[in-house]
Amino acid sequence: MTRSAAMFKELDAVGARHREVLRPNLLKRALTLAAMALALVAFIGGFAWLEFSWTRIWNGLSQLGSIAKLMMPPSYASEDQLFNWIKALGETLAIAFLGTLLAAIIAFPLSFLAARNVMAQRVIHFMSRRSFDTIRAVDPLIWALVWTNVVGLGPFAGILAIMTSDIGSFGKLFSEAIEAADQKPVEGVVSTGGSHVEAVRFGLVPQVLPVILSQVLYYFESNTRSATIIGIVGAGGIGLHLSEQIRTLEWQHVSLIVLMILVTVAVIDFLSSRLRFAIIGRRG
């Protein structure tokens, strides 16, 4: 007891010696509290604006409980239907794969326009940046709606939708990778008499290619997820079947489709992350 008392006495002494360090920063604390209070007020105000009501939440939750019960066990109506779903999953993968590939092929040359160290012309650099931002701000699902108006319903519209929205993302990511590249190889090529194009081809491209490849693979993973829902607006893939089964309240079918999506996404994630590490590991 006496020992701990001595420790506490020591504590006071320590406190007295380092008052500067231990003094609470009142301004910082007040700012933090104010930010938290603001967030809380916005949170409550937001719910009030959206006409949130506890009875509705309560009823919804009990509904959700009975839906969850109805989902068990996952099942399908006929072999044909199951086969159709598997085919739709294949379609989903095709949409993600081709969409990502086409976007990468188109965005690669364009990204050089948006890279400050390649494109000295500031206006072009600025314009291409803003165009990428604009394309990116529109969700793939909206692009899918636009493309279904052009090429009709079906997976082709999905491919074009994923492609369009990813041109925006890739353009931004690739140009950032190019800007982050080491300038010395470029200067080296120029110093030995290489042209501007040769400097980019032999000084820049070998540096950015592995980075770009791993980003493309990463986006392929993420696009597999986007492609599962793109069918909701009629642009092919499993999403069409999923939304159909939800709208007709076939909950056992819904749970099976969700399960199939989860397994597919997990497999793709596994394969693609293996491949990604292989690429980075081999070159890095």
Q: Which residues bind another protein (CB under 8 A)?
A: 39, 42-43, 46-47, 49-52, 56-57, 59-61, 63-64, 67, 90-91, 93-95, 97-98, 101, 133-134, 137-139, 141-142, 145-147, 149-152, 154-156, 158-159, 225-226, 228-229, 232-233, 236, 242-243, 246, 249, 254, 258, 261-262, 265-266
**254 neighbors 260 (Cβ within 8 angstroms):** no
CB of 258 to another protein, least distance (A): 6
CB of 196 to another protein, least distance (A): 26
Residue 208 or 254: which CB sits closer to another protein? 254
With respect to another protein, which residue has the nearer C-beta, 97 or 218? 97
Q: How far apart are the C-alpha atoms of 275 and 281, rounded to whole Å?
A: 10
Query: Which stretches of the chain are assigned E, i.e. beta strand?
Result: none
- Output the smallest distance, CB 49 to another protein, in A: 6
Quick check: helix, strand or coil at residue 233?
Answer: helix
Secondary structure of residue 7 in the 3-state scheme: helix
Q: Which residue, 192 or 248, is less far from another protein as judged by CB?
A: 248
Cα angle at 238 between 237 and 244, to 5 degrees? 120
H or E element that contains 90: helix 79-113
- Residue 59 corresponds to which tokens in the numbers above? 């009823």
CA 7 vs CA 12, 13, 14, 228: distances in Å: 9, 10, 10, 63
| Cβ closest to another protein, residue 207 vs residue 226 | 226
In terms of CB distance, is 118 or 125 closer to another protein?
A: 125
| Opening angle at CA 151, ends 145 and 155, nearest 5 | 75
CB 67 to another protein: min, Å: 6
CB nearer to another protein: pick between 110 and 275: 275
Minimum CB separation of residue 60 from another protein in Å reads 4
Residue 120 or 150: the one with the smaller Cβ distance to another protein is 150
Report the nearest approach of another protein to the CB of residue 194 (Å).
22
DSSP string, 48-76: HHTT--HHHHHHHHHHHHHHHHHTPSP--
Q: How far is the CB of 120 from another protein (least distance, A)?
A: 25
In the complex, minimum distance from the CB of residue 104 to another protein, in angstroms, rounded to a whole number: 11
The tokens for 284 are: 């890095």
- Please tell me what DSSP assigns to residue 175: H
CA angle in degrees (0–180, nearest 5) for 118-120-126: 95
Question: Are the C-beta atoms of residues 180 and 193 closer than 8 Å to each other?
Answer: no
